[in-house]
Amino acid sequence: MTVSDLDQKPRAAALLARGLSTDKVGAEVGVSGRTVRRWREDPAFAADVREARREILGEITDAIAAASRDAVDTLREALVDKSPAIRVRAATALLGALPAVREHVDLAERIAEIEAAQEAGAA
């Protein structure tokens, strides 16, 4: 691996994680698309791309979570609107979101239990 690869690969991994094509990534980092395709076959590079995607997803999740609080506050305010139609739509939106939120919380708890059991078994 060359020094140039060490400089280019992290940037290439980040760009691939953002959805750019191998040819566009190659052009951005100064190599051919063929080189980027070859890099993608390397398990370590593929892991770097996956990690970059996880980081992007984490940032998006944090932004959505922050906006969700504002959205819920807006819907709660709409629950006392003068218009019955607006109140019903707000109530429907809140109740409609509840199963997905509950499922997410349940899944997160189950994953945490599995991870704790694995760690206890490894210790």
**Per-residue tens of pLDDT for the chain, all 123 residues:** 554 556 899 999 999 999 999 999 999 999 999 999 999 999 999 999 999 999 999 999 999 989 988 999 999 999 999 999 999 999 999 999 989 989 989 999 999 999 999 999 887
Check residue 3 and give its pLDDT.
Answer: 44
Backbone torsion region of residue 83, taken as left when φ is above 0, otherwise alpha when ψ lies between -120 and 50, otherwise beta: beta
Check residue 121 and give its pLDDT.
Answer: 87
Check residue 88 and give its pLDDT.
Answer: 95
What does the DSSP 8-state code read for residue 82? S
- List Cβ neighbours of 49 (8 Å cut-off, separation of 6 or more): 13, 16, 17, 40
Report the candidate in 18, 19, 76, 17 with the shortest Cα–Cα distance to residue 51.
17
122, burial (CB in 10 Å: exposed 0-12, middle 13-18, buried 19+): exposed
Say if pTM beats, i.e. exceeds, 0.75. no
Check residue 122 and give its pLDDT.
Answer: 81
| Domain range annotation of the chain | 1-67, 79-123
Report the candidate in 52, 23, 19 with the shortest Cα–Cα distance to residue 36.
23
